[in-house]
Structure 1
């Protein structure tokens, strides 16, 4: 057998430019089947560089007809797709300490007896699998005339591809063939990377720059690609399953909140993703995520590094625009509230904000009551509805919209269970009053644990009496009106004021009032008449009764100006 016992150093030296890889621990960790979201923090994200090198599928090596390799065990459906990054020959009793994952191990079996027992074969194959070996090749004609059936059985049961190497094929030929194939793959990947980067760069020039970049990258990589902002809101995506969006939003928020730069995650169904933050460490702008369909190689990472850079620039640009737009919208609302409608219209025209026309409504809510899903749907409604725009005024979030958009606004608040208040219909010149109406409706919704939009109606106000409650002068005049009665009660030990209060509470009906006071109805009538005499008033007059009731209400012992008696 020509050159069959290749020196280990020769093989290692020949393939060293083509082999750098992850540790066995990482491979084994990725084989774990998590029952819930599992996360592995990564030191490096998608930036160019790193340790992943090109691989070739095992089937490509085995199909090199000049080598005469024949698979005899472990030929599962995916055996031909297993990656090969290294070919190594060894006759050591235990070569695994010197092997790296994705290795094809070649041996003549010289360390074994002519007829190894099943336990030895099982132990040897199991250790190779634990080391991440891709396949085992056994040369015949030197130590064994045929591959022992115990090795065939072990490889079949444990799932390790086993192939026979004919006597006329030197191990060094297999090594050199693998090296040529890997070198060709590396050159092909370099060309692919250059072409993919050129396509993505051209996509960035499109009108929908970031969206086109993400779509092109997903197409080139054969993976879904997604970009979120720092809050987890999906900014652009391509190929992402809609059912995974909420999971991805949550994990993106977690990555940013922990201050990590990259991570690999899996959900309870085994679906995986790789995440990397965008922006500077102290100024994270968002997250780039891709499906975890294997570790990205250097060509993939070069493309993803370009996507990351372009996305960062776009997010920085958008963040600046969003901040400026928010400030301009606040300025527009402030001008409208101050009655500067024409100036607000000119400013809106220069900022691509179309002011509502015709009957309008104002809606008010609180940021603390909203969710990320609500905010995302609100942005979509804002962007796709002419005559509707969101803004803030004195830190209060508002929606100002043409009345025709009210059904869509109601659906938005109702779908997300967000309490809010909406005004009556009015004109743009009445915006200040409409905002006050929306504020009052929102207060009502919050006080009653509402989970939808509450429409303003005049009865939501405290009423005319609330104005008197806050007036010092009203309290003073009420005390003056009741002074004769109170002086009489104090001088004679009578209870005229109490009798009048209860009598008016029962709408001037004597019997129920007397029953509540525990006195005879004739006694109550006498006290009421005494009160009328003291005040020199006719209690049959409704205005007199209303004025007396207001005075009694404002002069209650526990009622101070600004307080309301319930």
Structure 2
């Protein structure tokens, strides 16, 4: 915070030549003791004035309360201890009113408590000391208000520059004389001043704190400390639709400082809301280009993308599709907009019918993996393909997404598990119905028809191999197969029948 006016302190009072105040025994004081802010100057000759005092006061007294105590050290010591415990920052003793000079016992008591003690000469009325401090307080308040108005004017002018948000952040940092950063809805630091003003460890911890604020989704202001650096965080946007966070490397701000920050929050929030409308239009255009790519006709998408975002990624490409249930699609899109600028010609994305569609050069999955890790979504990735096979690649990506686990799942990993591994719950229900006559017969008669059918199909319909697998005679296998035909009413010599039964058994296994 810039020093725009002298802070009212005891040192400032003591340096006023017109008051002729004299500090007693300065050697026992820490230099900072005289630089504490003086909120007011009060006078009292009560033995215990603390019930009527508040912290940050300078107390003036003529010593009337000590007349009966003479120079008894205990009375002075307990008096000063009460003042120190109440937060009094200095004691002024008016001489030549009740007695000449400051009582030595009072000097000793103030030295023990490290309480600043000064003499107020007879020619200086207490009201003059109080008025001098009041004038300093008023001057500081006026200077702070003047600073706040000038700062808000400078920030308003900064908002009119080409990069209004960046200029606003920079101007706020200059006015507060500290580091200021703006994070977007994805928790990415997009603007800061001064650049690289935080050490890497502090920057990383701050990033985690901002991510937590954005994940909660509620409008809020918060204060925290990272190492020795205090920070204030202020959200941008509406609750449930946060557009970002402004972080300020400062602790508690005074009223004027908070007013300046509030003005920046309002302007930044308005600017981001206006940008959101533009982002929606860009998102609709991206979604339209995705539809043209799904028609395996990239000509229009190439032409428009080149004008707005740069060329489409060079084939062969990989197509990725995010989880359709992703709750932070807008935040993901904002992050990808940043990555498009950084990876010009190496990334394209847009909304599809059931999730975001990402297009990257084959083997370059950095942006895809970042989205999966940061937002906890499932993403399927196709095999390398050309734009003439975009629709098929997108279909592969959906299969990989739906059948994969958390994170990124390549289609190749899913394809190796075979076609039947993709059988759904409906297939298993049909399989149970298909094999129900055999399972019911085994349960009622104690036969092993399902086990025999499984062994026979697994051994390429060989009676002898099946008999060895089951540990029975081959004629037993023939007899059981004949019974299976009668129970099912099917001809096992038909390939279609065998395939149907084999698929049913595999579906139950799956």
TM-score, length-scaled by structure 2? 0.74
- Residue 459 of structure 1 is matched in structure 2 by 415
Instruction: List alignment gaps of at least 5 residues for structure 1.
Output: 1-52, 480-484, 486-492, 538-543
Please say if residues 276 and 289 of structure 1, whose CA atoms lie closer than 8 Å, have aligned partners that are also in contact. Answer: yes
Structure-2 change in CA distance of 1:564 and 1:180 (3 Å): same
- Residue 338 of structure 1 is matched in structure 2 by 295
- Residue 64 of structure 2 is matched in structure 1 by 110
1:329 aligns with 2:281: no
Structure-2 change in CA distance of 1:230 and 1:550 (3 Å): closer
Secondary structure of 1:175 counterpart: helix
Please say if residues 14 and 22 of structure 2, whose CA atoms lie closer than 8 Å, have aligned partners that are also in contact. Answer: yes
Please say if residues 55 and 83 of structure 1, whose CA atoms lie closer than 8 Å, have aligned partners that are also in contact. Answer: yes
- Distance apart, 1:531 and its partner CA: 11
1:138 aligns with 2:93: yes
Secondary structure of 2:25 counterpart: strand
- Residue 63 of structure 1 is matched in structure 2 by 15
1:392 to 344, 351, 362: 351
1:425 to 372, 376, 384: 384
Please say if residues 309 and 341 of structure 2, whose CA atoms lie closer than 8 Å, have aligned partners that are also in contact. Answer: no
- Residue 443 of structure 2 is matched in structure 1 by none
What is the correspondence of 1:82-97 to structure 2 with a 5 Å cutoff? 82-97=36-51
- Residue 222 of structure 1 is matched in structure 2 by 177
Secondary structure of 1:334 counterpart: helix
- Distance apart, 1:132 and its partner CA: 4.2
Structure-2 change in CA distance of 1:452 and 1:284 (3 Å): closer
- Distance apart, 1:314 and its partner CA: 1.5
- Distance apart, 1:530 and its partner CA: 12
Secondary structure of 1:163 counterpart: strand
Aligned residues: 480
Structure-2 change in CA distance of 1:206 and 1:159 (3 Å): farther
RMSD: 4.7
1-structure distance, mates of 2:135, 2:53? 21
Structure-2 change in CA distance of 1:552 and 1:283 (3 Å): closer
Please say if residues 441 and 460 of structure 1, whose CA atoms lie closer than 8 Å, have aligned partners that are also in contact. Answer: no
- Distance apart, 1:115 and its partner CA: 4.4
- Residue 340 of structure 2 is matched in structure 1 by 382
Please say if residues 186 and 334 of structure 2, whose CA atoms lie closer than 8 Å, have aligned partners that are also in contact. Answer: no
1:242 aligns with 2:203: yes
- Residue 26 of structure 1 is matched in structure 2 by none
Bigger mean CA offset, 366-375 vs 320-329: 366-375
1-structure distance, mates of 2:449, 2:51? 104
Secondary structure of 2:349 counterpart: strand
Structure-2 change in CA distance of 1:182 and 1:500 (3 Å): closer
Structure-2 change in CA distance of 1:136 and 1:287 (3 Å): farther
1:358 aligns with 2:315: yes
Q: Provide Cα deviations, 1:216-241, integer angstroms capped at 9, x if missing partner.
A: 21122123334456776655444554
Q: Provide Cα deviations, 1:491-544, integer angstroms capped at 9, x if missing partner.
A: xx9989965642332356666632443423565478789999x9796xxxxxx8
- Distance apart, 1:464 and its partner CA: 7.3
2-structure distance, mates of 1:564, 1:440? 21
Bigger mean CA offset, 359-368 vs 279-288: 279-288
Please say if residues 413 and 453 of structure 1, whose CA atoms lie closer than 8 Å, have aligned partners that are also in contact. Answer: no
1:210 to 160, 165, 168: 165
Question: Which structure ranks higher in relative contact order (CA pairs < 8 Å, sequence separation ≥ 6)?
Answer: 1
What is the correspondence of 1:530-545 to structure 2 with a 5 Å cutoff? none
Secondary structure of 1:364 counterpart: strand
- Distance apart, 1:125 and its partner CA: 4.0
2:248 to 257, 269, 290: 290
Structure-2 change in CA distance of 1:452 and 1:256 (3 Å): closer
- Distance apart, 1:311 and its partner CA: 1.4
Please say if residues 440 and 456 of structure 1, whose CA atoms lie closer than 8 Å, have aligned partners that are also in contact. Answer: no
- Distance apart, 1:396 and its partner CA: 1.0
2-structure distance, mates of 1:252, 1:430? 42
Structure-2 change in CA distance of 1:70 and 1:431 (3 Å): same
2-structure distance, mates of 1:536, 1:307? 80
2-structure distance, mates of 1:255, 1:416? 14
2-structure distance, mates of 1:284, 1:468? 39
- Distance apart, 1:242 and its partner CA: 0.7
Secondary structure of 2:390 counterpart: helix
Bigger mean CA offset, 185-194 vs 313-322: 185-194
Please say if residues 423 and 437 of structure 1, whose CA atoms lie closer than 8 Å, have aligned partners that are also in contact. Answer: yes
- Residue 457 of structure 2 is matched in structure 1 by 504
2-structure distance, mates of 1:164, 1:186? 28
2-structure distance, mates of 1:469, 1:170? 95
Bigger mean CA offset, 239-248 vs 396-405: 239-248
Please say if residues 277 and 288 of structure 1, whose CA atoms lie closer than 8 Å, have aligned partners that are also in contact. Answer: yes
Please say if residues 228 and 235 of structure 1, whose CA atoms lie closer than 8 Å, have aligned partners that are also in contact. Answer: yes
Please say if residues 236 and 246 of structure 2, whose CA atoms lie closer than 8 Å, have aligned partners that are also in contact. Answer: yes
Instruction: List alignment gaps of at least 5 residues for structure 2.
Output: 439-445
